[in-house]
Structure 1
Amino acid sequence: MSNAGALLGKQIDVQLSGEKSFKGILTDLGMDILVLYNGEQFLYFPMLQVHRFNLSEEKDNEIEYPLYSPMMEDMGSISYRKTLMNAKGMFSEIHVAGHIPLHGYITNVFNDYFAFYSPVYKTMYISLHHLKWLSPYHQGNIPYGLSKECFPVNPSAVPMVRSLGEQLKKYAGKLVVLDGGEDPMKIGVLKTAANNLVELTTASGNQVFFKLAHIKSVYMP
């Protein structure tokens, strides 16, 4: 580990790409992931999203070193993929695009995406390159106060494949929503997913193409 390891256990400031900042105690650090405790939640940041981090100049005395960790006991050396695998089935909050958090649990982790079950959006596909951060719920907490019966063990009837592009091919002819649907051009019927491009037909009948690498999330309403 680089000299950054000297910051373990200390209060740091983290700035993500896009200027969003966080303060907390650095509890773990790997080659591709950083773990911060902000006094209430553990936040797992893929290093892909971290612009910089540094020792806090102004210490927040309200933040104390955590007495427990929600999922690190069996992690060994921490990594982004290990974190996602360890979080499978654990109710969590994730942030991907925009300002709206998603609540639910990871069901499968693949080469360049993971499947996430949300009680609001049902099965979603999240790009590994665009997850901003993940925060597990305290053990026993369930989103929206729902019962566990509201969460299916096998939420998707569509077989999964290893890459997001190949998975999207299975939804040709179906209505899909990209990146939360804040942009109306990202809601439409999926025509093709090939050559690293995804083609949609929008509500007005226009054909629009998106580069697969820039797609952050997908769900089928």
Structure 2
Amino acid sequence: MKNILKKLVGEKVKLQLPGKKIIAGMVIEIGSDVLVLFDGKDYLYLPIVHIQKITKLEPKEDDIPPPSGTPNIEHDEELSLRKVLTLGKGMFTEIYITGNQPIPGFISSIMNNYFVFYSPVYKTMLISLNHLKWLIPYTANQRPYSLTNQQLPLQPVNISLARTLEVQIEKMVNELVILNIGENSNLIGKLNSLQNNFIELITAREELIYLNMHDIKTIHFTNM
């Protein structure tokens, strides 16, 4: 099927994302479900499903320099989000999921509907593919927080992983977890159960909270 967005390759545009976020840059490539944008500094890989509106930049808005190099993820076939994640596996990247703080780290595993991301701050995180807003690969000489290989080793996470996030969460029952990067205190607690797409969480005050599974963006153990 013809992709009407391909005509935007080489154009400078403004993208509107959920949460009224606006990103401007030059469209470098359009894949089957991902758009590559150069914002004057970085190459951003954005899942098309989260792009709410695209408009061309007015001349007075255009202060974005042209790219001087090529995207850090090299490929031969048409890009897709899964291919971006696969090619970026083990590469230092910055991802944006929720809140105001991008998360640096690296992808260690890619499953059916989630991937495992290691952050030097949050440690091992399970990220829903449905909630990834963008990914920025670092250049070869960049490392998060200038950490050394000893401080931030690139090694696979040694945990048994289920194919789907739902089954993985079921395996985490009775664990103390942090959901959605702990945006508020109600998203931190003991995972009591997962039934009918709702997570039952026990908070620090022993209050039972029920959270829709489809709203879970990230989850990680406090002891990972």
Band the TM-score falls in, shorter-chain normalisation? over 0.9
Q: What's the offset of the Cα at 1:63? A: 1.6
Give percent identity, aligned residues only: 36
For 1:147, the equivalent position in structure 2 comes to 148
Q: Does 1:50 align with 2:51?
A: yes
Alignment-mate amino acid for residue 141 of structure 2: G
For 2:77, the equivalent position in structure 1 comes to 76
Alignment-mate amino acid for residue 9 of structure 1: G
CA distance in 2, matches of 1:85, 1:75: 13
TM-score by length of 1: 0.94
Could you list the per-position Cα deviations for residues 154-191 of structure 1 after superposition, in whole angstroms to 9, with x for gaps in the alignment? 45332011111111122211110000112111100011
For 2:65, the equivalent position in structure 1 comes to 63
Q: Does 1:191 align with 2:192?
A: yes
Alignment-mate amino acid for residue 38 of structure 1: D
Alignment-mate amino acid for residue 64 of structure 1: P
CA distance in 2, matches of 1:86, 1:103: 17
Q: Does 1:211 align with 2:199?
A: no
For 1:38, the equivalent position in structure 2 comes to 39
Q: Is the 8 A contact 2:39 2:64 kept in 1?
A: no
CA distance in 2, matches of 1:75, 1:134: 19
Unpaired stretches in structure 1, ≥5 consecutive residues? none
TM-score by length of 2: 0.93
- Equivalent pairs counted in the alignment come to 220
**Secondary structure at 1:18's aligned position in 2?**
helix
For 1:111, the equivalent position in structure 2 comes to 112
Q: Is the 8 A contact 2:108 2:157 kept in 1?
A: no
CA distance in 2, matches of 1:92, 1:82: 15
CA distance in 2, matches of 1:119, 1:92: 12
Deviates more, 1:142-151 or 1:91-100: 142-151
Unpaired stretches in structure 2, ≥5 consecutive residues? none
The alignment's C-alpha RMSD in Å is 1.5
For 1:94, the equivalent position in structure 2 comes to 95
